């Protein structure tokens, strides 16, 4: 099974505006138009069985609606292969009851994004969410490290993640972008003994500028090199690494090709490409339906 643990889609009515706004802020090229249908087409091209959709609540009032939408997406997961997480915001007043509702809806996890949500990851508002999610058995995926569109918002640094994990009880925490985008040396130093998972999204290959004239320096375009990537996989353990692309900001066929070029063993690659995610989310092989919308 091939599982992409890190993708994003938007409702058709706002997808064009959302993708345009985000690519303008980050000066990067999207690989799809951000719709669910485009993600399905990408999955078919890459041979992806499941994609995990990760919505972000940038405002507290968005939380219930996002979670309702996630539940509707998940009703069609056997047909589409797209499984959506829910969302939570650190300033959402009904966080405790809403997390229980997320679990009752059968949603397997939530996405948190400290830079977009304006709080440090070791803030009490996040700690109480993490603890409750752990009690409910929810997976938490957090944007980790810097954000390409908000480079000054250092709100999910490896040191913060370490403090947060040490402050709460047992937790299934996935730290996106190999544990901390553009902060990989600190990830290696601070997070191997925490038990967190890492996803590979937007960590291998190169940044792809959108051609709007932003003066990208050539030295800023490469992401993590193979040597550090393989070293981190083996230091954390391949069983704690999850393949992800950050679609639409990473192309699934290209990301898969780039990952398969790394000098990992077949066993390590199989675990990262799907085995670990299937175990974490309780997924089994599905029958593909190429024309599902």
Whether the pLDDT of residue 290 is over 70: the answer is no
Residue 289: pLDDT band by 50, 70, 90 thresholds? Answer: low
Residue 293: pLDDT band by 50, 70, 90 thresholds? Answer: very low
Closest of 29, 9, 70 to residue 211, by C-alpha: 29
Using CB atoms within 10 Å of the CB of residue 255, give its burial: 0 to 12 exposed, 13 to 18 middle, 19+ buried.
buried
pLDDT for position 292: 45
Q: Cα separation of 10 and 148, whole Å? A: 19
- pLDDT digits 0-9 by tens, 87-105: 999 999 999 999 999 999 9
Q: Which domains, and CATH codes, for the chain?
A: 3-281 (3.20.20.140)
Residue 288: pLDDT band by 50, 70, 90 thresholds? Answer: low
- pLDDT digits 0-9 by tens, 16-60: 999 999 999 999 999 999 999 999 999 999 999 999 999 999 999
- pLDDT digits 0-9 by tens, 107-133: 999 999 999 999 999 999 999 999 999
């Amino acid at each position: 099974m091939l599982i992409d643990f890190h993708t994003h889609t938007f409702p058709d009515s706002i997808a064009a505006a959302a993708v345009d706004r985000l690519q303008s802020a980050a000066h990067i090229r999207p690989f799809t138009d951000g719709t669910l249908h485009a993600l399905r087409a990408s999955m078919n091209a890459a041979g992806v069985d499941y994609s995990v959709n990760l919505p972000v609540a940038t405002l507290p009032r968005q939380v219930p609606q996002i979670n309702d939408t996630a539940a509707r997406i998940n009703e069609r997961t056997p047909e589409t292969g797209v499984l959506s997480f829910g969302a939570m915001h650190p300033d959402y007043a009904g966080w405790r009851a809403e997390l229980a509702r997320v679990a009752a809806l059968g949603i397997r996890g939530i996405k948190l994004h400290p830079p977009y949500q304006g709080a440090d990851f070791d803030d009490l508002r996040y700690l109480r969410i993490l603890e409750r999610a752990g009690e409910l058995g929810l997976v938490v995926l957090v944007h980790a490290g810097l954000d390409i569109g908000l480079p000054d918002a250092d709100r999910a640094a490896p040191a913060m993640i370490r403090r947060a994990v040490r402050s709460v009880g047992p937790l299934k925490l996935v730290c996106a972008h190999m544990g901390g985008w553009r902060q990989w040396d600190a990830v290696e130093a601070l997070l191997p003994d925490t038990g967190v998972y890492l996803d590979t999204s937007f960590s291998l290959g190169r940044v792809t500028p959108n051609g709007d004239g932003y003066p990208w320096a050539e030295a800023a375009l490469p992401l993590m090199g193979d040597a550090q990537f393989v070293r981190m996989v083996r230091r954390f353990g391949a069983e704690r690494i999850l393949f992800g692309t950050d679609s639409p900001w990473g192309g699934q066929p290209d990301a898969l090709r780039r990952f398969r070029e790394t000098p990992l063993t077949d066993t390590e690659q199989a675990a990262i490409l799907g085995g670990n995610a299937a175990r974490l989310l309780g997924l089994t092989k599905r029958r593909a339906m190429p024309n599902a919308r």
